[in-house]
Amino acid sequence: MLPSTDRLITQLVMASAFIALSTLAHARIDDQLDSQIDEQQNGQFNGQLAMEHIAQQVSYGPRTADYSGKQKTLNYIQQLLQPEADQLVVQPFQAHGLSGNNLWASFYAADPKQRSQPRIMLAAHWDTRPIAERDKLPANRAQPVTGANDGASGVAVLLEMARLLSSQRAPVTVDLVFLDLEDMGNIDGLPFSIGATEFVHQNRFYRPTAGVLVDMVCDRDLVIPQERFSREGAADLQDQIWQIARSQGAEVFKDRAGAYIEDDHLPFLRAGLKVINLIHWPFPQSWHTSGDTIDRCSADSLQQVGRVISEFIYLQREPL
């Protein structure tokens, strides 16, 4: 039998060892939980990372003819996707006396048997408008827009989606299509959607099962009603997207009809393809003004849109 002081010391040492071990065990469990949460978050569309893609694009300046930002942005998209995509093509074109480049990156389905069908297209325009004709100051109206929302936000959603697709292929092939020369409409008699029209002509055999166009999706007061041409040409697809939005509580998606908006989905719809447009409507005050800057953008808006699209891609609940 130990004398009572020794016994007390032994008990204290054992108790401290126990506390130290259990603290260590707790620390390990906390670490494991943290890394599980990190893993789950990594597999999720991250609005903050999408914001960084907007910051990068606007840092290059306007993405319109005669500005170095145009080539820098094309390089940025290409360099990010080249090592990750299963196929990447830049498709130059000439139309209406202008030169442009559409860029098309494919991420094949996880199961090679599903490689060619079904396949989903996600599209956005990467150019920006050369004039801010709606600016309240006449002096600004001849200047190009920054296009944080109108241009960079759609590209940012596609690039953040590319990160997810790179780390885990989807059950279907996903094509990310970056369209040029969307925003030349009503300048010197030019139409909107020049690049999208060229893309459809150049790729007549490309028939994705479904397509989602994202345009102007970063505003902090983002509102996306059900665009009407999309409703008329691809109601089932629009319903599927809105159903996911409802289930996620993504409140930027509104359960009401929007306007008829002539955007890059129209050439696809006219070719008989099911492509819907996710677009802010009514257009925000900053639209085609010098105020289309990143301070009006929100990571949360981007994340709501991105998470709805990623669930659509990864967890197809109904056949397309």
**By the criterion CB under 5 A, which residues form the site for Zn ion?**
129, 150, 183
**Buried-state track 243-275, b at ≥16 Cβ within 10 A, e below 16:** ebbeeeebebbeeeebeebebbbbbbbeeebbb
* Separation in Å, CA 156 to CA 30, 81, 283: 33, 13, 19
Q: Is 191 near ligand 1BN (CB under 6 A)? A: no
For the bound state, the minimum distance from the C-beta of residue 271 to ligand 1BN, rounded and expressed in Å, comes to 19
Q: Is 198 near ligand 1BN (CB under 6 A)? A: no
For the bound state, the minimum distance from the C-beta of residue 214 to Zn ion, rounded and expressed in Å, comes to 13
Q: Is 179 near ligand 1BN (CB under 6 A)? A: no
Query: By C-beta, is 175 or 183 nearer to Zn ion?
Result: 183
Query: By C-beta, is 216 or 245 nearer to ligand 1BN?
Result: 216
Which of these ranges, 15-23, 50-58, 199-207, 256-264, lies near ligand 1BN under the rule CB under 6 A? 256-264
Rule CB under 6 A: choose which of 107, 108, 192, 229 binds ligand 1BN. Answer: 192
Q: How far is CA 72 from the centre of its chain?
A: 19
For the bound state, the minimum distance from the C-beta of residue 250 to ligand 1BN, rounded and expressed in Å, comes to 21
For the bound state, the minimum distance from the C-beta of residue 158 to ligand 1BN, rounded and expressed in Å, comes to 16
For the bound state, the minimum distance from the C-beta of residue 174 to Zn ion, rounded and expressed in Å, comes to 25
The answer to whether the CB of 174 falls within 8 A of the CB of 106 is yes
The answer to whether the CB of 119 falls within 8 A of the CB of 173 is yes
For the bound state, the minimum distance from the C-beta of residue 147 to ligand 1BN, rounded and expressed in Å, comes to 9
For the bound state, the minimum distance from the C-beta of residue 185 to Zn ion, rounded and expressed in Å, comes to 8
Q: How far is CA 210 from the centre of its chain?
A: 16
Q: Which option in Zn ion, ligand 1BN, none does residue 219 bind, with CB closer than 5 to 8 A by kind?
A: none
Mask 258-287, x = binds ligand 1BN (CB under 6 A)?
---xxx------------------------
The answer to whether the CB of 85 falls within 8 A of the CB of 162 is yes
For the bound state, the minimum distance from the C-beta of residue 262 to Zn ion, rounded and expressed in Å, comes to 11
Q: Is 227 near ligand 1BN (CB under 6 A)? A: no
Q: Is 135 near ligand 1BN (CB under 6 A)? A: no
Query: By C-beta, is 21 or 142 nearer to Zn ion?
Result: 142
Report helix, strand and coil shares of the chain as percent, to nearest 5. Answer: 45, 15, 35
Q: Is 175 near ligand 1BN (CB under 6 A)? A: no
**Buried-state track 96-121, b at ≥16 Cβ within 10 A, e below 16:** eeeebbbbbbbbbbeeeeeeeeebbb
Q: How far is CA 117 from the centre of its chain?
A: 22
DSSP class per residue in 142-191:
TSPP--IIIIIIHHHHHHHHHHHHHHS--SSEEEEEEE---TTTTSTTPP
Q: Which option in Zn ion, ligand 1BN, none does residue 111 bind, with CB closer than 5 to 8 A by kind?
A: none
Q: Is 122 near ligand 1BN (CB under 6 A)? A: no
Nearest to 288 by CA among 161, 159, 128: 128
Q: Is 183 near ligand 1BN (CB under 6 A)? A: yes
Q: Is 30 near ligand 1BN (CB under 6 A)? A: no
- C-alpha 281/C-alpha 227 separation (Å) is 8
Nearby residues of 140 by Cβ (< 8 Å), 6 or more positions away: 132, 289, 290
Positions in the binding site for ligand 1BN (CB under 6 A): 150, 183, 185, 192, 215-216, 261-263
